[in-house]
């Protein structure tokens, strides 16, 4: 059973270096909006950083704080969201451990990011237990807060999908209520031998392996029964999904509309392409970066007409400037009526205007680390409180308490 009605949001980022405008337009602006409509938990996933950087942990703690500064500068607010660092809430590790007891290895091995990354990140030995468990640690991050929504990029959707399966399996193993299960068990044989057997095997396939088709088949099977009461039908439908007691609700991925932020060279903005504008880029450096951007290569001389479609500057205009400016660019470029230097100026002004308040806010936290740490400590304490509520239920369900 999913929890679409649950308005709690959880998301994290690995602390891997300063954020750029791609992160701002693609992720952070979404977070800033969401914090008004949902109860949000945002954290720096420092343990996730360790799964790939276990040999070089120096810098992770500093990067985590810098990441929090970037968020705060972008307008994520500690009064609207709970902001913290993963390792400051050790319940993430406890839940990860307990979930690891019931997680089939094959679920982790089949995650595409596992194989891809292991191949891509050459030069590092990623045949580790921690790296294989990366998505399960992410499941723990999400389930610990009983999140309804997880804003993530496309590449992370499989991790949220696995989290749903983990939650379902957990609820199936540890969430049964005695009376409910008994009445379901009594209802099953009423369907007749053949259907009862089918029901059992499909229920098992869905609950233990996450087989969605088996669920649909079993639901159709129940619908087609003529000889059992409506109450029994309802019971058996519920029993299929094991919703008798939902200890860990299933979250939904909320796809951040891939606002494809163009970089300085026209490719997607990305650290690995070296084409970024930093969220805290200083004014002079920012101006220089835009001034030296490549333009339509056909415009060698001022008198050569150009084609904005072949120019990375135009792509940025589409993100940053208004319709009137767009017309001015199109007209001036195609008629060779203006030079590229002129064309870039309104863009420089627009990006400067966007970044100015961000820079100012960032400075405040850079210069007052004590204040930043207070925010992080308060966030971690608030997160711990929620985490403990969940862990109490989890420990009880797993019979670790008398």
Interacting residue ranges for ligand TRP, rule: CB under 6 A: 10-14, 45, 48, 138, 141-142, 150, 152, 156
Phi, psi of 246 (to 5 degrees): -95, 105
CB of 133 to ligand TRP, least distance (A): 12
What is the contact mask toward ligand SF4 in residues 246 to 285, using x (rule: CB under 6 A)? ----------------------------------------
Nearby residues of 301 by Cβ (< 8 Å), 6 or more positions away: none
Question: Judged by CB under 6 A, which of 15, 22, 306, 379 binds ligand SF4?
Answer: 306
CB of 14 to ligand TRP, least distance (A): 5
Q: Which token pair is 83? A: 């902001």
CB of 328 to ligand SF4, least distance (A): 10
Question: Judged by CB under 6 A, which of 146, 164, 299, 359 binds ligand SF4?
Answer: 299
CB of 337 to ligand SF4, least distance (A): 9
Closer to ligand SF4 at the Cβ: 7 or 325?
Answer: 325
Closer to ligand SF4 at the Cβ: 329 or 376?
Answer: 329
Question: Judged by CB under 6 A, which of 308, 328, 362, 394 binds ligand SF4?
Answer: 308
**Binding partner at 140 among ligand SF4, ligand TRP, none, C-beta below 5 to 8 Å by kind:** none
Is 313 a binding residue for ligand SF4 by CB under 6 A? The answer is yes
CB of 40 to ligand TRP, least distance (A): 12
What is the contact mask toward ligand SF4 in residues 334 to 363, using x (rule: CB under 6 A)? ------x--xx-------------------
Q: Find tokens 């270096």 and name the residue.
A: 17
CB of 25 to ligand TRP, least distance (A): 16
Cβ(81)–Cβ(9) below 8 Å: no
Closer to ligand SF4 at the Cβ: 4 or 335?
Answer: 335
CB of 231 to ligand TRP, least distance (A): 39
Measured N-to-C along each axis, helices 340-366 and 369-397 cross at an angle, to the nearest 10 degrees, of 70
Closer to ligand SF4 at the Cβ: 69 or 329?
Answer: 329
Interacting stretch for ligand SF4, rule CB under 6 A, among 104-112, 221-229, 239-247, 293-301? 293-301
Closer to ligand TRP at the Cβ: 167 or 313?
Answer: 167
CA–CA separation, 164 and 143 (whole Å): 9
Cβ(134)–Cβ(171) below 8 Å: no
CA–CA separation, 86 and 107 (whole Å): 24
CB of 155 to ligand TRP, least distance (A): 8
Nearby residues of 257 by Cβ (< 8 Å), 6 or more positions away: none
CB of 339 to ligand SF4, least distance (A): 7
Cβ(38)–Cβ(8) below 8 Å: yes
Q: Which token pair is 17? A: 């270096």
CB of 368 to ligand TRP, least distance (A): 27
Closer to ligand TRP at the Cβ: 143 or 264?
Answer: 143
CA–CA separation, 347 and 334 (whole Å): 18
Q: Which residues pair with 215 in a beta bridge?
A: none
User: How big is the site for ligand SF4, counted in residues (CB under 6 A)?
Assistant: 13
CA–CA separation, 162 and 250 (whole Å): 10
Can you spell out the DSSP letters for 226-238?
A: SSS-HHHHHHHHH
**Binding partner at 340 among ligand SF4, ligand TRP, none, C-beta below 5 to 8 Å by kind:** ligand SF4
Output Rg (C-alpha) for the chain, integer angstroms: 26
Q: Which token pair is 361? A: 């806010």
The closest of 290, 266, 294 to 352, measured between CA atoms, is 290
CA–CA separation, 261 and 24 (whole Å): 9
CA 125 to chain centre: 25
CA 206 to chain centre: 25
Site residues for ligand SF4, window 161-190 (CB under 6 A)? none
CA–CA separation, 214 and 199 (whole Å): 9
Closer to ligand SF4 at the Cβ: 107 or 320?
Answer: 320
Chain position whose Cβ is nearest to ligand TRP: 12
Q: What is the largest CA-CA distance in the chain?
A: 86
Report the interface residues with ligand SF4, using CB under 6 A.
295-296, 299, 306, 308, 311, 313-314, 329, 333, 340, 343-344
């Amino acid at each position: 059973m999913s929890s679409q009605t649950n308005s709690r949001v959880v998301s994290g980022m690995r602390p891997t270096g300063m954020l750029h405008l791609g992160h701002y337009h693609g992720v952070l602006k979404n977070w800033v909006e969401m914090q008004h409509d949902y109860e949000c938990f945002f954290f720096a996933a420092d343990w996730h950083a360790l799964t790939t950087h276990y040999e070089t942990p120096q810098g992770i703690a500093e990067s985590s704080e810098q990441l929090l500064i970037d968020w705060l500068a972008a307008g994520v607010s500690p009064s609207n969201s709970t902001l913290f660092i993963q390792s400051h809430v050790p319940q993430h590790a406890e839940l990860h451990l307990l979930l690891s007891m019931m997680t089939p290895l094959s679920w982790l091995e089949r995650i595409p990011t596992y194989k891809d990354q292991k191949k891509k990140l050459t030069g590092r030995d990623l045949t580790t237990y921690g790296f294989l468990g990366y998505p399960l640690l992410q499941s723990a991050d999400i389930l610990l807060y009983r999140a309804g929504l997880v804003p993530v990029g496309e590449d992370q959707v499989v991790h949220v999908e696995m989290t749903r399966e983990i939650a379902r399996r957990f609820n199936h193993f540890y969430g049964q209520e005695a009376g409910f299960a008994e009445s379901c068990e009594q209802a099953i044989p009423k369907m007749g031998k053949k259907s009862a057997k089918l029901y059992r095997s499909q229920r098992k396939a869905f609950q233990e392996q996450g087989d969605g088709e088996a669920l649909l088949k079993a639901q159709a099977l129940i619908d087609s029964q003529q000889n059992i009461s409506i109450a029994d039908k309802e019971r058996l439908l519920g029993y299929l999904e094991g919703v008798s007691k939902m200890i860990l609700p299933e979250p939904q991925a909320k796809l951040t509309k891939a606002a494809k932020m163009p970089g300085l060279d026209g490719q997607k903005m990305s650290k690995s392409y070296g084409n970024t504008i930093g969220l805290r880029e200083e004014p002079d450096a920012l101006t220089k970066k835009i001034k030296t951007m490549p333009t339509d290569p056909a415009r060698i001389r001022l008198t050569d007409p150009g084609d904005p479609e072949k120019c990375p500057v135009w792509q940025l205009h589409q993100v940053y400037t208004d319709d009137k400016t767009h017309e001015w660019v199109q007209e001036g470029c195609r008629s060779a009526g203006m030079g590229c230097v002129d064309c870039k100026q309104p863009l420089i002004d627009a990006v400067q205007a966007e970044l100015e308040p961000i820079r100012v806010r960032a400075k405040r936290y850079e210069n007052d680390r004590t204040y930043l740490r207070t925010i992080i400590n308060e966030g971690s304490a608030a997160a711990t409180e929620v985490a403990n509520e969940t862990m109490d239920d989890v420990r009880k369900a797993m019979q670790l308490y008398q």
